Chains A and B, each alone.
Chain A
């Protein structure tokens, strides 16, 4: 896995990098923070083509030939796991985007709940339900929970880590700018690294 994006794929002449953003088990706060990039998003749009994203694309299938993939969220269920493996296969550089992808964070708190995913579902949907308690079971529609919620790097190889809950827009920009130039992001100091 290359450490940084050092070349644009395919064809002659400048071609925009193909960027994907993925939302696994997280609160979408990292994507909201991404939107806080405000006018810099226009600069970004000149440099990248967003080919897959819950906030900037309607594509439902993760495409092939992705250069950069920002992954928000931990890996909590079978859908998350399948998408994680798919995006790894189809992306050159994968980034754990935010504390949930980096370390499990809030979604992984369910790992503290004893025993099985079933016990978690019981707690959430039966014991704590005020009315109409029932399990959210719809085979083929509602994905099964994994035994444990895992950080992204526990299931696929990850090239870069961008911590924060969420990473601030400034941190995202400071991370992406060098990466888009083909340089490693300056991951040091509280401004870039502090969790939370």
Chain B
């Protein structure tokens, strides 16, 4: 396997070819905020929190902003993850997310276990400068075990991807466009009526917010298991389960 060397925030780091800039940042012990990304799922570069500045080696072309999750590391790249401008953009992105949905942490199932809440802390958001939109969304509690509360959805599409890529059921997808986008079950029908759903709960496990939850969770009771896709993927690819011993 060939190895690439690049610079992340001034530190040289070596990563295997094919690694993403996010993985390279982690190798350099640099934490880049993410929301739509989840290890084990295909990256989509949608939330834009993991944007980093990249200079190509010696070509004098202007600095580019690229999503670390879905950009491959390259030899000699110079990556900056936390410039003042990036921090400003990230805070605005999180504020936009808070303003576009109905995120009321105080009584959310995911209070304390929410990646949106964490992201707000990470970007230093003490309030949203953007007016709240209060979209009229709905709750689908038709499934026997789970519930989806669209008010809390940030359209990261993790549920769509885990169901498609890991479970192979493709129960979820996105309907409509722009600010009307919405996660839909089956052919835009009540979740409980979708026969393809295996009730595996992976969508609930990976949801970064309280949008997907067990239907008996109340405020601050959600216990997410966001490491599951990575475990399942490595188990499948390496033919070895973590609970079977041996190094991960």
Contacts and interface: CB of A to CB of B under 8 A. Distances in A.
- Say if the two chains contact directly (CB < 8 Å): yes
Given A111-B132, A187-B126, A193 B106 contact: no
Interface string A144-173: 000010010110001001110100000000
B127 A112 contact: no
Interface in B154-211: none
B5 interface: no
Nearest to B110: A196
Assign chain B's interface to a size class: 20 to 34
A151 B128 CA distance: 10
A195 B220 CA distance: 12
Given A106-B106, A165-B105, A187-B124, A196 B117 contact: yes
Given A112-B102, A196-B108, A103 B132 contact: yes
Interface hub of B102, B121, B127, B132 (most chain A Cβ within 10 A): B127
Contacts of A114: 136
B131 A154 contact: yes
Nearest to B99: A103
Given A104-B132, A148-B134, A194-B121, 15 more contacts: A103-B98, A105-B104, A106-B104, A111-B132, A112-B134, A112-B136, A154-B131, A158-B127, A161-B127, A165-B105, A187-B126, A193-B124, A195-B105, A196-B106, A196-B112
17 contacts: A99-B105, A102-B126, A103-B127, A104-B132, A106-B104, A109-B102, A111-B134, A112-B136, A153-B127, A161-B127, A193-B120, A193-B124, A194-B121, A195-B117, A195-B120, A196-B112, A196-B220
Interface of B: 98, 102, 104-108, 111-112, 117-118, 120-121, 124-128, 131-132, 134, 136, 151, 220
